[in-house]
């Protein structure tokens, strides 16, 4: 877990390794940038905390972790804290108390901090206009965007762009290029191999160390490319039909390749349980999912069929029921079908029906594995839960066996 240091005398917070050397008695520590900002501190201009991943404390209760995932998925963008609380069965007051106790910020403050940090990265990395940055980051209006950036960074978006360094700019010739920051070490080769072994023909491909996939945003097709970037980041190249809500695209891409969590070796509860496997390969990350239903279908078919037959079955499902996306390269041809399109499909029709009817909610929650076991085997249910964010010892151990 990354710990941020805030200095009372300057009102600035820094990430680990910053060259600033304040007196110890003047320093407060926070586990999240949002908590430091809620306490009145602003990000350091030297170490730029918005450049690294701020992960939720492992000790946070399941409800808070679920709420964070829903915020990342964009639930607060339109519906606010009341809708988030209703989704979790909590009052707004209970929700705010849990967030303040475990994260040091309210749900709105947490979401605003995420949006502002992503916007700062877009201002540095891209040539998008100020208005485009605002809406790509999930802000509802330019006024809201300007206010948030002044409160968090003490400068307007235009002033922040004028400050960016020459080396910040990323070439964006064809698609929008963004950094996906991570806390080193990170084993991209193992992640790439894992994704290649499970690539769905027509929807995903892995070639020369670059992962590519077709996506759908509000019914419109797009394509993502993820590949190596630097010592502390991957590069995401997004070809999208529009820029609104790009923050959620980047978050889902980060979750897919596991850079939204600290390395497993850094998570105190993991090292004693998995011992030599984790210590020998400290850059391992648990893979996530771009689309939960897609991962669930794949796991069920791989559980019931030999690997080659499962791949053929997935290919046929995509060709028959998927949405064609012409003009792409690297073997990409379709977007994966929705649950409603597969309710009568062989082997996975029951899963598709349960998901389409809302009987199985494909999100990390208590009881997810039990509900999945009604339509598939326990090992497949564990794999699905793992990729949806259930990092329980049983699920992680099963995954470690498959990659070590």
- pLDDT, one tens digit per residue, over 292-339 is 999 999 999 999 999 999 999 999 999 999 999 998 999 999 999 999
pLDDT digits (tens, 9 = 90+) for 340-393: 999 999 999 999 999 999 999 998 777 888 999 999 999 999 999 989 988 777
pLDDT for the residue 93: 94
pLDDT for the residue 399: 77
Average pLDDT over residues 48-66: 78
Average pLDDT over residues 26-53: 88
Band of the pLDDT at 281, cuts 50, 70, 90? confident
pLDDT for the residue 269: 45
What backbone phi and psi angles, to 5 degrees, belong to 305? -130, 155
CB 179 within 8 A of CB 309: no
pLDDT for the residue 58: 63
Average pLDDT over residues 231-236: 94
Instruction: Please state the pTM of the whole predicted model.
Output: 0.83
Any residues with CB less than 8 A from the CB of 81 and at least 6 apart, and which?
92, 95, 96, 106, 107, 108
Average pLDDT over residues 52-65: 75
CB 181 within 8 A of CB 52: yes
pLDDT digits (tens, 9 = 90+) for 183-228: 888 999 999 999 999 999 999 999 999 999 999 988 889 999 999 9
Domains of the chain: 4-51 (3.40.10.10), 176-403 (3.30.310.20)
**Looking up tokens 């201002």, which residue turns up?**
123
What backbone phi and psi angles, to 5 degrees, belong to 294? -60, -45
Any residues with CB less than 8 A from the CB of 154 and at least 6 apart, and which?
42
Report the alpha-carbon distance of residue 244 to residue 237 in Å, rounded.
16
pLDDT digits (tens, 9 = 90+) for 148-167: 999 999 999 999 998 887 66
pLDDT at 255 over 60: yes
Q: Which two tokens stand for residue 218?
A: 């509000």
Report the alpha-carbon distance of residue 114 to residue 369 in Å, rounded.
30
Report the alpha-carbon distance of residue 190 to residue 99 in Å, rounded.
34
CB 215 within 8 A of CB 249: yes
Strand pairing report for 12-14 and 42-43:
parallel
Report the alpha-carbon distance of residue 301 to residue 317 in Å, rounded.
11
Q: Which two tokens stand for residue 196?
A: 């290649």
pLDDT for the residue 390: 81
Nearest Cα to 67, choosing from 45, 87, 46?
87
Percent of the chain's residues with pLDDT above 70? 91
Q: Count of H helices and E strands in the chain?
A: 18, 11
pLDDT at 271 over 60: no
Average pLDDT over residues 39-50: 88
Band of the pLDDT at 266, cuts 50, 70, 90? very low
Band of the pLDDT at 27, cuts 50, 70, 90? very high
Band of the pLDDT at 404, cuts 50, 70, 90? low
CB 217 within 8 A of CB 241: yes
Strand pairing report for 233-239 and 323-324:
unpaired
pLDDT for the residue 46: 82
Band of the pLDDT at 171, cuts 50, 70, 90? very low
Higher pLDDT, 151 or 174: 151
* Residues paired with 239 in a beta bridge: 223
Band of the pLDDT at 49, cuts 50, 70, 90? confident
Report the alpha-carbon distance of residue 32 to residue 13 in Å, rounded.
11
pLDDT for the residue 18: 81
């Amino acid at each position: 877990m990354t710990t941020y240091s805030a200095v009372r005398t300057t009102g600035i917070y820094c990430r680990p390794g910053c060259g600033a050397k304040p007196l110890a008695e003047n320093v407060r520590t926070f586990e999240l940038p949002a908590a430091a900002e809620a306490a009145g501190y602003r990000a350091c201009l030297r170490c730029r905390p918005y450049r690294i991943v701020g992960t939720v404390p492992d000790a946070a209760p399941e409800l808070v972790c679920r709420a964070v995932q829903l915020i990342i998925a964009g639930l607060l963008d339109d519906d606010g804290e009341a809708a988030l609380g209703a989704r979790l069965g909590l009052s707004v007051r209970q929700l705010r108390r849990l967030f303040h106790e475990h994260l040091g910020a309210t749900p709105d403050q947490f979401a605003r901090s995420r949006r502002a940090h992503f916007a700062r990265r877009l201002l540095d990395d891209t040539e998008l206009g100020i208005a485009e940055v605002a809406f790509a980051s999930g802000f509802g209006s330019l006024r809201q965007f300007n206010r948030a950036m002044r409160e968090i960074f003490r400068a307007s978006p235009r002033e922040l762009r004028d400050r960016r360094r020459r080396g910040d700019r990323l070439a964006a010739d064809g698609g929008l290029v963004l950094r996906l920051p991570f806390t080193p070490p990170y084993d991209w080769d193992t992640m790439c191999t894992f994704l290649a072994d499970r690539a769905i023909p027509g929807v995903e491909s892995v070639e020369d160390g670059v992962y590519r996939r077709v996506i759908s945003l509000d019914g419109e097709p797009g394509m993502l490319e993820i590949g190596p970037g630097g010592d502390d980041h991957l590069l995401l190249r997004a070809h999208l039909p529009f820029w609104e809500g790009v923050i959620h695209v980047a978050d889902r891409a980060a979750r897919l390749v596991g850079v939204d969590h600290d390395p497993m070796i850094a998570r105190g509860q993991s090292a004693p349980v998995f011992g030599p496997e984790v210590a020998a390969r400290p850059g391992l990350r648990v893979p996530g999912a771009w689309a939960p239903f897609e991962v669930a279908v794949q796991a069920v078919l791989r559980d019931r069929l030999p690997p080659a037959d499962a791949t053929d079955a997935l290919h046929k499902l995509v060709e028959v029921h998927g949405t064609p996306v012409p003009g792409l390269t690297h073997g990409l041809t379709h977007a994966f079908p929705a649950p409603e399109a597969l309710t009568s499909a062989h082997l996975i029709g029951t899963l598709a029906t349960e998901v389409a009817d809302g009987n199985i909610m494909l999100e990390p929650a208590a009881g997810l594995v039990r509900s999945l076991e009604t339509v598939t085997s326990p090992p497949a249910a564990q794999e699905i839960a793992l990729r949806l964010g259930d990092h329980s010892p049983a699920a992680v151990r099963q995954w470690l066996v498959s990659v070590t």
